[in-house]
Amino acid sequence: MSDCPHCGWPDSRPVQDLSQHPTEEGVLSWTRCVCGSVQARLLTAGTVRIVARGQPAPTHTGDREPEAARDAARHPAG
């Protein structure tokens, strides 16, 4: 999976799950990135596809992981 184009956070590690909605194509899941941008993900038969992505929130106050955790996720050891 890719990384957020706004902050580089791995798309595979959303910080907050906002909601899920069943559709004819699968499940539409709304998530929030560490930078505050919202993503719409379509989950179908074991695959995840980001179908829409918003801009980062200028004053996002939601759940954020500490800077050290963010850095470790971007550059895993090994």
Q: Compute the average pLDDT of residues 52-63.
A: 74
pLDDT of residue 60: 54
pLDDT of residue 17: 94
**Does residue 59 have a pLDDT over 80?**
no
Q: Model-level pTM?
A: 0.68
Q: Which of 57, 2, 1, 59 is nearest to 32 (CA)?
A: 57
